[in-house]
Structure 1
Amino acid sequence: MLQGKKILIGVSGSIAAYKIPILVRLLVKEGAEVKVILTPSAKNFVSPLTLSTLSKNPVLSDLELNDSWANHVMLGRWADVFLIAPLSCNTLAKMATGICDNLLTAVYLSATCPVVVAPAMDEDMWHHASTQSNISRIRSFNNQVIPVEHGELASGLSGDGRMAEPETILQWVKDFFFDKEQLKRRKILITAGPTYEAIDPVRFIGNHSSGKMGVAIASAFVKRGAMVTMVLGPSHIPIPQGVNVVRVRSADEMYQVCDQLFENIDIAVMNAAVADYTPIIVSTEKIKKQADSFSIELKKTKDILKHLGEVKKGGQFLVGFALETTDEKEYALKKLRDKNADMIVLNSLRDDGAGFGHDTNKITIFDKQGKEYLFDKKSKQEVANDIVNTIVELYV
Structure 2
Amino acid sequence: MADLLSKFDPLIAEREALLATGVRDPYAIVMDKVLSPTEAMINGRKTILLGTYNYMGMTFDPDVIAAGKQALDEFGSGTTGSRVLNGTYQGHKACEDALKEFYGTEHAIVFSTGYQANLGMISTLAGKGDYIILDADSHASIYDGCWLGDAEIVRFRHNSVEDLDKRLGRLPAEAGKLVVLEGVYSMMGDIAPLQEMVAVSKKHGAMILVDEAHGMGFFGEHGRGVFEEAGVEADVDFVVGTFSKSVGTVGGFCVSNHPKFEVLRLVCRPYVFTASLPPSVVATAATSIRKLMHAGDKRAHLWKNSRRLHQGLRDMGYKLGTETAQSAIIAVILTDMAQAVALWQGLLEAGLYVNTARPPATPAGMFLLRCSLCAEHSDEQVEQILGMFESAGRATGVIP
Q: Please classify the TM superposition score into its range, dividing by the shorter chain length.
A: under 0.3
TM-score, with length taken from structure 2: 0.27
Greater strand proportion: 1
Larger Rg: 1
- Larger relative helix fraction: 2
TM-score by length of 1: 0.27
Identify the structure with bigger relative contact order (alpha carbons < 8 Å, sequence gap 6+): 2
